[in-house]
Amino acid sequence: MANLAPVHSATCFAFTSLIRVFMQALSPGSYASVKWFELPAGYVFHVGNCFEEDEGNTVRIYACHLDEFSFASMDGSGPFPDSRLYEYTLDVPSGTAKSRKVS
């Protein structure tokens, strides 16, 4: 758990490492086309949609994002984490990425 830092107790963690997104073209022998993107720290789950725009130069991902996580929320003894819908935009040619809170 090197990328987690205790927040309020031993069972509540904040994510401290960047989110790393791996992307590769779906064609034979395309290993040279691997791209890595970095986004602000957090936990991404329940991807709702992902699609290409601009002839594949932009990839948009819509997913739930958590800044903190507590194991107590899993058994109902603690508050449920405050998850939000985020839009992640990957700029394929430049290798840059950005995130935006949608809700």
Cβ atoms of 89 and 76 within 8 Å: the answer is no
End-to-end CA distance of the chain: 29
Q: Can you give the pLDDT at residue 76?
A: 67
Q: Can you give the pLDDT at residue 2?
A: 47
The radius of gyration of the chain from alpha carbons, rounded to an integer in Å, stands at 16
The torsion angles phi and psi of 55, rounded to 5 degrees, stand at 55, 35
Two tokens at 87?
């839009």
The domain tally of the chain equals: 1
| Structural domain harbouring 33 | 4-101
- What are 45-84's pLDDT values in tens digits? 888 999 999 988 999 999 998 887 766 666 666 666 778 9
Cβ atoms of 57 and 77 within 8 Å: the answer is no
Name the pLDDT band for 13 (thresholds 50, 70, 90): low
Q: Which residue has the higher pLDDT, 18 or 8?
A: 18
